A and B are shown apart, each in its own frame.
Chain A
Amino acid sequence: MIRALGWVLRRDLLLAFRRRGDVVNALVFFVIVVSLFPLGVGPEASQLRNMAPGVLWVAALLACMLSLARLYAPDHQDGTLEQMLLAGEPLVVLVMGKVLAHWLMSGLPLVLIAPLLGLQFDLPGDALAVLCLSLLIGTPVLSLIGAVGAALTLGVRGSGVLVALLVLPLYVPVLIFGAGSVGAVATGTGAEAHLMLLGGFLALALVLAPWASAAALRIAME
């Protein structure tokens, strides 16, 4: 099972590496969306500092959601997904590998570039650290929940908009506590409670989401 996980992970990472443009595009999208906000609301530093956690988190949500289209659709088109369903390994493990690869390609880059964007919004050092930490815990949850939505909308017409409709309401708790943790540092109440809840979401999503995603894949492929 571990070997199967490693195989899927290596394969997806290799494919993503061969088509670097997709990964870079999602990242650039994130940067552009975040950069648009100061242009829209004005450059006043105190206002930007208040907005920064929410803006960064919402942009991360959108960037993560956009890249969901690449999670299953290419494998569905070239028939690999069918072979995965037929394979002797449990589908949940294969799904887990794909989600992990998706997070490494779409979530992790956001975590790494977020401090830079936080600086543009005049966030202090401790808030930046918490922002990174909350994104590090929260973005895997986004990938996991997104995998359910991506599997449900596989091969459905208008799936791009549909996946947003399905997945974004489910992202709400992550958004609340992700952005809330940074806000809590700013107000001085400490971010531990928020981060622990995010960790709880991660644990729950880790158990349930691959299973639901695998079930949805079977429904989509039958």
Chain B
Amino acid sequence: MSKKGRFSWYYFSSPQSFYPLAGTLQPWFAALAAVLCAVGLYISFFVAPTDAQQGESYRIIFIHVPAAWMSMFLYLVMGFWSGVGLVLNTRLSSMVATALAPTGALFTFIALWTGALWGKPTWGTWWVWDARLTSELILLFLYIGFMALQAAIDDQRRADKAGAVLALVGVINIPIIYFSVKWWSTLHQGASVSMTSAPTMAKTMLLGMLIMALGFWMYSIAATLARVRCVILERERHTDWVAAEIGGQT
């Protein structure tokens, strides 16, 4: 298992060689996440100007919008790794997909929760059956379904593959669901609330949001790496190198 002169991606597709790599990278991404989120939050709360129409309550979008972006993006990443795992039969890809799901679900939940907090002072209600809210809610259901399916199957290989098929079916369905919900709410009542007509954003607001989004990216990578390390240890616990690894730490 020695590294050859030519760099090979396949070298890191083995859980054994990926485990130390993830261990090395994880603190860096965690540190980047902490720094970016700290800077982003500082800009959001102290530098960015108060919104003329919404007052201070708009500041929650600095968390809300990046969380919503991540929630959708992570599902695509999960679908991608599921597909790779299904086609190439690489165990690590499935492990990454498994590790991504809780983070994605977390961001979906944060997006919904902060959206409700923002909606109360702005729209006067916790919840509207708006297209974005509804599709985000269904996304949360899809994440939960993926995790529930994997948790219910004892055979690890089958859990990976069944989860992968479900994730891919979900990826095909996400645009369909999104547009159905969109047409559903526009067909009936017209767009009562629309974010596209919001006033053009001040530069500092956009900057804060982008930095927060980057911070969330880094957090997602760090959390996924940490989780995938746990998954690797759990699944490879019968191997010698894991025994040595755990034995060396204690």
Contacts and interface: CB of A to CB of B under 8 A. Distances in A.
A219 B181 CA distance: 32
Contacts of B165: 148, 152, 212, 215-216, 219
Contacts of A220: 158, 162
Chain B interface category by residue count: 20 to 34
B141 A165 contact: yes
A180 B149 contact: no
A177 B145 contact: no
Interface string B37-54: 000000000000000000
Given A156-B152, A183-B188, A165 B158 contact: no
Interface in B144-175: 144-145, 148-149, 152-153, 158, 161-162, 165-166, 168-170, 172-173
A172 interface: yes
Contact of A176 (B168, B169, B181): B181
A165 B162 CA distance: 14
Interface in A169-222: 169-170, 172-173, 176-177, 180, 183-184, 189, 197, 201, 204, 208, 212, 215-216, 219-220, 222
B161 A169 contact: no
Of B153, B161, B169, B183, most buried by chain A (CB within 10 Å of CB) is B169
B176 interface: yes
Contact of A162 (B141, B149, B173): B149
Interface in A131-182: 148, 152-153, 156-159, 162, 165-166, 168-170, 172-173, 176-177, 180
Given A169-B177, A219-B161, 16 more contacts: A148-B166, A165-B148, A166-B145, A166-B166, A169-B141, A170-B170, A172-B138, A172-B180, A172-B181, A176-B180, A176-B183, A177-B180, A197-B180, A216-B162, A219-B158, A222-B158
Interface of A: 148, 152-153, 156-159, 162, 165-166, 168-170, 172-173, 176-177, 180, 183-184, 189, 197, 201, 204, 208, 212, 215-216, 219-220, 222
16 contacts: A152-B165, A153-B152, A158-B152, A162-B148, A165-B141, A168-B141, A169-B138, A170-B169, A170-B173, A172-B138, A172-B177, A172-B180, A173-B173, A176-B183, A183-B188, A216-B162
